[in-house]
């Protein structure tokens, strides 16, 4: 059985339909990314929404709910630095949404970690999340694991972004290093495509469904690429087929 997932990250929604982030109206950009994916990678077994679901605006969760509730698949969500965890938990309570925790299929699990730090752009895994990760990996030794978080656990070679990554990446990797079933770690936050590998674990980031950041830039800079998302196919033998897709037909409305 192949598990097919779609990752939509950093939609930065507002309550208002015309709210802009870095010149891109975030709501139609997200709709364009979803429609693009539905035309190519559907049906899927679940959606990974890896943080910054809203842009510091709790009324954006109603919009997120309206968009994703009707797709008919589970939506696994984690917080990002622009989220408001209490409002997120309230508005996205119940199926098809799952906030944090573990998603399970026959041969795979996805561990959804919360790295939110109140008032900070950087992230941190608290003791509860480190324990969740360790126990999920230990309790499912026969399953391959995909670990999802918002903040990047490795440098992106971008000075400004690397000041707002995962503060305790060493603790994160020490948990991963204690298990043999981790196949990949996947994140958002950086609004760009990145792929690397560490100790046999694939490391991947995915562009935002709205505005992108210029890779390898020392200072903050926008990359004028269109919305993006990622598809993943998880095979029984632990292989991951995956790629990032750019929604080329969507002209970002930069202003
Ligand atoms: Fe973001």
Question: Which tens digits make up the pLDDT trace of 69-87?
Answer: 999 999 999 999 999 999 9
Report helix, strand or coil for 170. Answer: helix
CA of 138 to the centre of ligand 1 (A): 31
CA of 154 to the centre of ligand 1 (A): 17
CA of 139 to the centre of ligand 1 (A): 32
Report helix, strand or coil for 49. Answer: strand
CA of 189 to the centre of ligand 1 (A): 4
CA of 70 to the centre of ligand 1 (A): 24
The answer to whether the CB of 132 falls within 8 A of the CB of 170 is: no
- Write out the two tokens for 36: 């693009």
pLDDT at res. 249? 79
- Token pair 């980031």 is found at 205
pLDDT at res. 255? 44
pLDDT at res. 250? 82
CA of 117 to the centre of ligand 1 (A): 14
CA of 180 to the centre of ligand 1 (A): 31
pLDDT at res. 16? 96
**pLDDT beneath 70, residues of the chain:** 251-255
β partners of residue 196: 203
CA of 121 to the centre of ligand 1 (A): 10
CA of 238 to the centre of ligand 1 (A): 29
- Write out the two tokens for 123: 């992230």
CA of 224 to the centre of ligand 1 (A): 15
Task: Kindly list the strands in the beta sheet with 101-104, ordered across the sheet, starting from the edge strand earlier in the chain.
Answer: 101-104, 108-112, 144-149, 182-187, 201-205, 194-198
CA of 155 to the centre of ligand 1 (A): 16
CA of 208 to the centre of ligand 1 (A): 7
Task: Kindly list the strands in the beta sheet with 228-234, ordered across the sheet, starting from the edge strand earlier in the chain.
Answer: 97-99, 75-78, 46-50, 3-7, 228-234, 240-246
CA of 143 to the centre of ligand 1 (A): 30
Cα 53 from Cα 240, distance rounded (Å): 25
| Secondary structure (H, E, C), 86-101 | HHHHHHCCCCCEEECE
């Amino acid at each position: 059985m192949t598990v097919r997932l779609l990752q939509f990250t950093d939609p930065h929604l507002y309550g208002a339909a015309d709210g802009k982030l870095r010149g891109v109206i975030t709501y139609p950009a997200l709709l364009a990314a979803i429609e693009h994916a539905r035309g190519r990678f559907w049906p899927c077994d679940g959606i990974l929404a890896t943080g910054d679901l809203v842009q510091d605006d709790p009324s954006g969760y109603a919009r997120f709910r309206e968009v994703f509730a009707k797709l008919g698949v589970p939506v696994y969500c984690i917080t990002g630095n622009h989220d408001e965890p209490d409002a997120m938990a309230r508005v996205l309570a119940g199926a098809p949404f799952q906030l944090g925790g573990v998603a399970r299929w026959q041969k795979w699990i996805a561990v959804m970690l919360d790295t939110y730090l109140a008032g900070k752009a950087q992230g941190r895994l608290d003791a509860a999340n480190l324990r969740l990760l360790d126990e999920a990996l230990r309790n499912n030794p026969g399953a391959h694991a995909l670990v999802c978080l918002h903040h990047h656990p490795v440098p992106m070679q971008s000075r400004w972004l690397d000041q707002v990554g995962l503060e305790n990446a060493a603790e994160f990797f020490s948990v991963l290093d204690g298990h043999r079933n981790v196949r990949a770690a996947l994140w958002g936050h950086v609004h760009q495509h990145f792929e690397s590998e560490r100790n046999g674990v694939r490391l991947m980031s995915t562009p935002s469904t709205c505005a992108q950041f210029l890779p390898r830039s020392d200072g903050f800079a926008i990359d004028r690429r269109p919305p993006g998302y990622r598809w993943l196919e998880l095979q029984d033998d632990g292989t991951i087929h995956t790629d990032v897709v750019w929604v080329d037909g969507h002209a970002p409305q930069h202003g």
